[in-house]
Amino acid sequence: MDTSRITFGEMVAAVSGLVLLIVMFFPWYQVEAETAGFKASESGNAWEVFAFIDLLLLLVVLVAIGVAVARAAGAMPAQLPAPPGMIVAAAGALALLLIVFRLISIPGPDVDIGGVDFDRQIGIFLGLLAAAGITFGGYTAMNERDESARVDGSGSAGPGATA
């Protein structure tokens, strides 16, 4: 495995993907109930709270880390539907949108229950930052690969280029 093949953007996306995977085990939400002087609270991480979004976030993590590992191993497939950086950036953007959605809309009952509070915890905010890091890393990797193709001459000539 040759880590010198990995670009800065791919490294940022892979590290952010690893951070997102770890953060998914942190508390994302907390529910507190108080009644008749008795107070109880329970927190839940992404794996416990989400039914399907956690699997999508895991898929994003696997894409972000997988591209960097495949590049380092020299096993990057030649035919992909889009450049790897674009795939990582799109996956990161999906994760970012899903987390923003769940930041705004807390999972749980839609009714207001007296004495019960639903709160966001640190995990969802760290997950949001990690998803932004994956998106940034994918976008940067996409631009780095474009630049390297133009600099070394292996890329196609752009409009107005002379042969």
In a domain, 61, yes or no: yes
Please state the pTM of the whole predicted model. 0.82
pLDDT digits (tens, 9 = 90+) for 35-66: 888 888 899 999 999 989 999 999 999 999 99
Distance of CA 61 to the CA centre of its chain: 6
Domain CATH number, residue 18 = 1.20.140
Higher pLDDT, 26 or 145: 26
In a domain, 39, yes or no: yes
pLDDT digits (tens, 9 = 90+) for 17-31: 999 999 999 999 998
Q: Report the domain count for the chain.
A: 1
In a domain, 159, yes or no: no
In a domain, 27, yes or no: yes
List the domain range (segments joined by +) for residue 129.
3-151
In a domain, 102, yes or no: yes
Give every CB contact of residue 122 below 8 A, 6+ residues apart in sequence. 26, 27
In a domain, 161, yes or no: no
In a domain, 157, yes or no: no
Higher pLDDT, 100 or 113: 100
Query: How confident is the model over 127-152, as a mean pLDDT?
Result: 81
Angle, CA 19 vertex, CA 13 and CA 76 arms, to 5°:
35
Residue 90: the pLDDT is 96
Q: Residue 75 phi/psi, 5° resolution?
A: -115, 25
Candidates 4, 7, 1, 2; CA nearest to 149 is 7
In a domain, 94, yes or no: yes
